[in-house]
Amino acid sequence: MTEQPTHISGTQLPPGERAPEFTLPATPDQRLSLAEMSGRPVILAFYPADWSPVCGDEMSLFNEVLPEFHKYGAQLVGISTDGVWCHAAFAAERKLHFPLLADFEPKGEVARRYGVYRAADGIAERALFVIDAEGIIRWSYVSALGINPGADGILEALESLSVPSSAEGAAS
């Protein structure tokens, strides 16, 4: 965990944009689409790779914070370019209670649509999106690859979703 400036690629889809639709494998025989999750807030957590050694381990942290996300009615999904079998082993080992989606073929297609694909490395950025019940991105954040962003930003975003915004008006 060395000190690094926060990397903001500047290319990730910003708040206010409609979240691009996708359908990705969640298990070897099940697929999950964003549309299926509509009506509730969705947290998309893009990450570089299963088994990657970010200290503190982001997915395990989110797993522990899951009950808190659920208090806001939010669903969490992890997305990386790993395949379903790799995801299955990783989720079982870490006892993850949320789906991991395989952005495997065409590789990184969904990460690309969200502006968080690192073409040179063939992996997704460590990026977070909070999408509201209507499918609008309300918060996005790209962390330095080696830095676990923690869950505080997600919780703040979820909190602001549940507070009716007076100044902004309706987003759609």
User: Contact between 94 and other proteins (CB under 8 A)?
Assistant: yes
User: Contact between 125 and other proteins (CB under 8 A)?
Assistant: no
Q: At closest approach, how far in Å is the CB of 70 from other proteins?
A: 13
User: Contact between 150 and other proteins (CB under 8 A)?
Assistant: yes
Three-state SS letters, 87-149: HHHHHHHHCCCCCEEECCCCCCHHHHHCCCEECCCCEECEEEEEECCCCEEEEEEEECCCCCC
User: Contact between 141 and other proteins (CB under 8 A)?
Assistant: yes
Q: At closest approach, how far in Å is the CB of 131 from other proteins?
A: 18
Q: Which of 102, 114, 155 is nearest to 9 (CA)?
A: 114
User: Contact between 97 and other proteins (CB under 8 A)?
Assistant: yes
User: Contact between 119 and other proteins (CB under 8 A)?
Assistant: no
Q: At closest approach, how far in Å is the CB of 142 from other proteins?
A: 12
> Nearer Cβ to other proteins, position 13 or 24?
13
159, β-bridge pairs: none
Q: Which helix (H) or strand (E) holds 65?
A: helix 58-71
Of 5, 29, 55, 163, catalytic: 55
* Alpha-carbon gap, residue 15 to 68, rounded angstroms: 22
Per the annotation, the verdict on 86 as an active-site residue is no
Answer for which of 14, 16, 39, 56 binds other proteins (CB under 8 A) is 56
Residues 6 or more apart whose Cβ sits within 8 Å of residue 106: none
* Alpha-carbon gap, residue 42 to 157, rounded angstroms: 11
Q: Can you give the binding site for other proteins, defined by CB under 8 A? A: 1-3, 55-58, 60-61, 63-65, 68, 94-97, 141, 147-153, 155-156
Residue numbers annotated as active site: 55
